[in-house]
């Protein structure tokens, strides 16, 4: 039977949306006649990104709870009731064979109703510290696909499968011509290259750091590919030069990773999974502004295996120059970090997640 029907739900951030799209793509690959529907939160980025990827999406009136007392919080019970009712009507109309949740508040109501109806539900948890939505849904889910060891702290052990996180297809087995890569960026293939990543929107503190340390970095003769994010591009584009290339967004991540000798990055789950496959030395600067400080926990999972370095934002002033120098000036350190991070790569994550869904069908 190839004409299965799948609902995928998750959103709020790219970290929940892109894994859902990758899973849908692999399901479509395996079941070409299948039908797909995404369910997300109205007004969030999934309402734009999912149709761009070629899938239909319906939005629920739902949002997360703010940490302080706000009018939005007073609306929360009404949003939940509205979203549960709409989820019931979506499920009744679409009649899915399986439902996949990739986390974020958007997936809560739909997965809750689907599991009550006895539909096979699969959760995908990207982070080393489980999100609140997936923790609440875990009891009724059939399978929970995770990317880190030790997730029994959050989920029933008999439901956990360690698959890794879905990543962009063009990064797996990315064989790229180095000359073509350096021509693309207008850089010198004989010089060391630093790649700076702050996520698609950018990271203000990382941008401030690079701005502040440009003269320090130039003393090493390093050239820089700097993704400052679309929110900050107007501010930082003036630093573009022969050796510093400033981008709002990098469309060719495979080229950027190929050019890099050292990478400075946030520690979102998707970035961490990609960087394991890339296998280059990484200095993580986790965002302190995320739920349950999960970026720090994601980075620490690698640091504990001697596979990456970490600097907390509050320690950048004291630690950045020494940490960067220690890696940049030591080929042995670079090789050790690259080798250890590569050992943690799970390049077939998407296929393994879809294998678990297939078993339930």
Nearest CA among 297, 279, 296, 278 for reference residue 287 = 296
Query: Which domains occur in the chain, in start order?
Result: 5-165+348-360 (3.40.50.2000), 170-343 (3.40.50.2000)
Strands (E), 16-171: 35-41, 57-60, 98-101, 121-125, 143-146, 160-162
Phi-psi region of 248 (alpha: psi -120 to 50; beta: other; left: phi over 0): alpha
Nearest CA among 284, 356, 274, 302 for reference residue 19 = 274
Q: How far is CA 238 from the centre of its chain?
A: 29
Stated length of the chain:
361
Residue 89 labeled ligand binder: no
Q: The whole model's pTM is what?
A: 0.85
Residue 295 labeled ligand binder: yes
Residue 8: per-residue pLDDT: 96
Residue 127 labeled ligand binder: yes
β-partners of residue 161 are 145
Report yes or no: 327 and 335 within 8 Å, Cβ to Cβ.
no
Note the pLDDT tens digit of each residue in 4-42. 999 999 887 777 888 999 999 999 999 999 999 999 888
Residue 170 labeled ligand binder: no
Residue 60: per-residue pLDDT: 83
Note the pLDDT tens digit of each residue in 291-316. 778 899 999 999 999 999 999 999 99
* Mean pLDDT, all residues of the chain: 90
Residue 15 labeled ligand binder: yes
């Amino acid at each position: 039977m190839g004409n299965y029907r799948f609902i995928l739900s998750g959103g709020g951030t790219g970290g929940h949306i892109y894994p859902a799209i990758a899973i849908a793509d692999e399901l479509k690959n395996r079941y070409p006649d299948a039908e797909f529907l995404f369910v997300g939160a109205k007004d969030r980025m999934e309402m734009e990104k999912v149709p761009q990827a070629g899938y239909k999406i319906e939005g629920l009136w739902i949002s997360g709870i703010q940490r302080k007392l706000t009018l939005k919080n007073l609306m929360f019970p009404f949003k939940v009731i509205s979203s549960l009712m709409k989820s019931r009507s979506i499920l009744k109309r679409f009649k899915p064979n399986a439902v996949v949740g990739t986390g974020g508040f958007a997936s809560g109501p739909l997965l809750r109703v689907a599991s009550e109806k006895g539909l096979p539900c699969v959760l995908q948890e990207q982070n080393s510290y489980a999100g609140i939505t997936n923790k609440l849904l875990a009891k009724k889910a059939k399978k929970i696909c995770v990317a880190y060891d030790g997730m029994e702290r959050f989920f029933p052990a008999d439901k956990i499968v360690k698959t890794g996180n879905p990543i962009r297809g063009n990064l797996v087995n990315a064989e790229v011509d180095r000359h073509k890569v350096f021509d693309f960026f207008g850089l010198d293939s004989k010089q060391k290259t630093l790649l700076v990543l702050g996520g698609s929107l950018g990271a203000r503190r990382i941008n401030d750091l690079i701005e502040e340390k440009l003269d320090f970095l130039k003393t090493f003769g390093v050239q820089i590919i700097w993704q400052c994010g679309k929110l900050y591009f107007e501010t930082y584009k003036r630093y573009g030069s022969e050796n510093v290339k400033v981008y709002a967004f990098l469309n060719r991540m495979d080229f950027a990773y190929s050019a890099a000798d050292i990478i400075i990055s946030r520690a979102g789950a998707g970035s961490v999974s990609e960087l394991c496959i890339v296998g280059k030395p990484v200095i993580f600067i986790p965002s302190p502004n995320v739920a349950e400080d999960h970026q720090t926990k994601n980075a620490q999972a690698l640091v504990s295996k001697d596979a990456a370095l970490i600097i907390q934002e509050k320690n950048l002033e004291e630690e950045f120059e020494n940490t960067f120098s220690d890696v940049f000036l030591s080929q042995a350190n670079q090789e050790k970090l690259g080798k250890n991070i590569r050992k943690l790569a799970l390049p077939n994550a998407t296929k393994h997640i879809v294998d678990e869904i297939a078993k339930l069908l």
